[in-house]
Amino acid sequence: MNDLSMWGMFLGAGIGTFLLRLSFVEIHGRWRIPALLNRALPYVPASVLSALVLPAVVYPAGPGEWVASNPQLPAACVAALVAWATKSTVLTLALGMAALWAFKFLMG
């Protein structure tokens, strides 16, 4: 790929991103969001985060390679239980990382 086509791709992606974001700002006051969609929107960040984190936890060696001695799986379960029981982000991160280090030490 030569420099001109790369700069054209960057420019096109930048303009596309700008127009996509501008469209939401411009449309904001003109359209009414349906009630069903409005109730579902608060769950979007959690679903996006889990879609990003889960593959890294389940397949640490890369896509398609499941490892039985993966210390991230039990540590993620511990973190999920702590999050469910305490609703504390800081405690979840601290105990999840401690569990990960402990499982790495025990399995490693």
Q: For residue 28, how many C-alpha atoms fall within 13 Å in the half-sphere facing its CB?
A: 6
Phi (first) and psi of residue 31, to 5 degrees? -110, 150
Question: Does 3 map to a domain?
Answer: yes
Specify whether the CB–CB gap between 107 and 69 falls below 8 A.
yes
> Could you tell me the residue range of the domain that residue 75 belongs to?
44-107
Task: Say whether both 86 and 49 belong to one domain.
Answer: yes
- When divided into structural domains, the chain yields a total of 2
Per residue in 15-35, pLDDT tens? Answer: 999 998 888 777 777 778 889
Cα–Cα dist 59/48, whole Å: 17
Task: Say whether both 23 and 70 belong to one domain.
Answer: no
Other C-beta atoms closer than 10 Å to the C-beta of 77 total: 13
Residue 36 — very low, low, confident or very high, per pLDDT cuts 50/70/90?
very high
Say whether pLDDT at 62 is over 90: no
Say whether pLDDT at 47 is over 90: yes
Q: What SS3 class is residue 70?
A: coil
Mean pLDDT of 58-62: 79
Task: Say whether both 58 and 85 belong to one domain.
Answer: yes
- pLDDT attached to residue 12: 95
- pLDDT attached to residue 7: 93
- pLDDT attached to residue 66: 72
Specify whether the CB–CB gap between 61 and 67 falls below 8 A.
yes
The residue type found at 82 is: V
Task: Say whether both 95 and 51 belong to one domain.
Answer: yes
